[in-house]
Amino acid sequence: MSFGLYSIGFAIVIGGLIYAAYLMHIPTHWIAVGAVVLLGIGILSGMKATRQKDPVG
């Protein structure tokens, strides 16, 4: 799976969660904090899932 495809999927998930938080009337600054944290988690997990294995030897 490519990192770009993984990033697009994670961005859609983050967008949905932001919209849900907005509908629940959560303060904007907490929505921003949550989005930044999720973005960091998405980048780290995307790099882990799509990295190439090191050759042995």
The amino acid at residue 17 is L
Query: Is residue 40 assigned to a domain?
Result: yes
Query: Is residue 19 assigned to a domain?
Result: yes
**Position 53 pLDDT exceeds 90:** no
pLDDT band at 18 (very low <50, low <70, confident <90, very high): very high
CA separation for the pair 45, 24 (Å, rounded): 27
Give residue 1's pLDDT: 62
- Identify whether the C-beta of residue 50 lies closer than 8 Å to the C-beta of residue 4: no
Count of domains for the chain: 1
CA separation for the pair 55, 31 (Å, rounded): 42
Enter the pTM of the model: 0.78
Query: Is residue 55 assigned to a domain?
Result: no
Q: Supply the range of the domain harboring residue 19.
A: 3-49
CA distances from 29 to 1, 21, 35, 49 (A): 33, 11, 10, 30
Give residue 57's pLDDT: 62
**Position 7 pLDDT exceeds 90:** no
Region 15-34: mean pLDDT is: 96
